[in-house]
Amino acid sequence: MTEHTLEVAGVAIDTRHWIGGERVASVGTFTDVSPIDGTVLGEIARGGPAEAAAAVAAAKAAFPGWAATPRAERARLLHAIADGVEKRIEELAIVETADNGALLRSHRRGVMPRVAHNFRFFADWLLKLDHEDFETRGHTNHVSWDPAGPSALITPWNAPLMLSTWKVAPALAAGNTVVLKPAEWTPLTASLLADIAAEAGLPAGVLNVVQGYGAEIGDALTSHPDVRRISFTGSVPTARRIAASAAPHLTPLSLELGGKSPLLVFADADLDLAADLAVEQYDNAGQVCLAATRVLVEGSVAEEFTRRFVDKAIRLRQGDPRDETTDIGPNIHPRQLEKIDGFVQRAFAAGARAVIGGHPKDGQYYAPTLLTDVAQDSEIVQEEVFGPVLTLQTFADEDEAVRLANGTRFGLAATVATGDPERAERVSAQLVAGTVWINCFFVRDLQAPFGGSRHSGVGREGGTWSFDFYCDLKNTVTAPKGWKDHG
């Protein structure tokens, strides 16, 4: 172990930045603390404008060579990174659980395999990325995807490595170089990703990782004139600041922001399935942007639905996420726990009633909560809590269900539980959402567009949509004649 290395369950992690193929220290550090029990994991290099400038310069220097790298070679290197991830799934899972408190079993079985899949998917999609030539009055049109340049990728703490690689993989596949800034509450697996990419043979400067606070290093990245793409996942207020800093250089943005998604339960639904879908919204201690936190139930079945929901919810086991039997772990930070409880206490003051929960527990754990007697215009219905807190409202008919569902400033996702396929089609067509799930939840395919409407985001990524964002699209038009004879 060195002064720049920390250890989590036997896994050594370098706490410095990764810039231009080298580890770079900073004068200052910040403390990384595990939400599981408050253990200090280590001191992390705290970057600022100087580190941001160095990382962008490294990405800019590496860009011409990486952009000119043939597609097949870029794809090969992305598959090599995926191989490296798969070899270290257990290590990555252990470290990420310690860093963000999500379930170890989920990291092992789902999240880290998805990290590898992110690289494999976009590597394979790159090789088949094509648009058929077409003619205009005898002229041939040829569409191409040209690498755009250095990309700043700013990622959240609720699924750190998976959401980082959801951005890193398509950006690299597109031929862009990358500066990745992970959330300061969960920096560790991004550092391990830098090691894995280097071991896979990714050229120096193609992937850079910098750590620190948004106001210190994030702003320096998003306002840099040499950054040609910015992708951000996080809160609406932060997105506004990023958009303002990017505006002088007209840097294209992809923003995946908050949600206040509805779950619509109609009387003809399978109520056991609907209750299971509602309980699933407590996944990751409610720290999921897509979570359907507003449960809207047809009045005639509200009492029965609530009974089934409570029967299932009270059986959830909350505790140490490293335990295989745990269903709900801690919330990420004391500040987040205080924010969650503030929402709930203000809801109580406004007349809400807790069906279950409604209070913090020991440490950074918040009891799974369902609130009823809430008004549509109340804060608890309108604002994203980002914790294990659901609200329940009733509706009389489809029109009211849709009105309530669409009655916030968000539009990230929606879930519909119904036994009538015609109703499912009719209702889903009226919902303002980037994704609608019918009788299911969180089924995600990387070839589908992903993003939000209204204040839930700008743009779509996934499949060809990712390449559309990370590239400059070019149309080359060739005349049918005018060629000289070179015979």
C-alpha span between 382 and 350 (Å, rounded): 14
Buried b (16+ CB within 10 A) or exposed e, 290-312: bbbbbbbbbeebbeebbebbeee
Q: What is the DSSP string of 388-447?
A: SEEEEEEESSHHHHHHHHT-SS--SEEEEE-S-HHHHHHHHHH---SEEEES------TT
CA atoms within 13 Å, Cβ hemisphere of 211? 31
C-alpha span between 424 and 401 (Å, rounded): 12
State the Cα torsion 404-278-448-73 to the nearest 10°: 140
Q: Which residue in this structure is represented by tokens 């250089």?
A: 249
Task: Give one word for 153, left, alpha or beta, with left for phi > 0 and alpha for psi -120 to 50.
Answer: beta
Residues annotated as catalytic are 256, 289
Q: What is the DSSP string of 224-281?
A: -TT--EEEEES-HHHHHHHHHHHGGGT--EEEE-----EEEE-TTS-HHHHHHHHHGG
Taking alpha carbons only, the member of 333, 288, 65, 322 closest to residue 185 is 333
AA identity, residue 50:
A
Q: How far is CA 186 from the centre of its chain?
A: 13
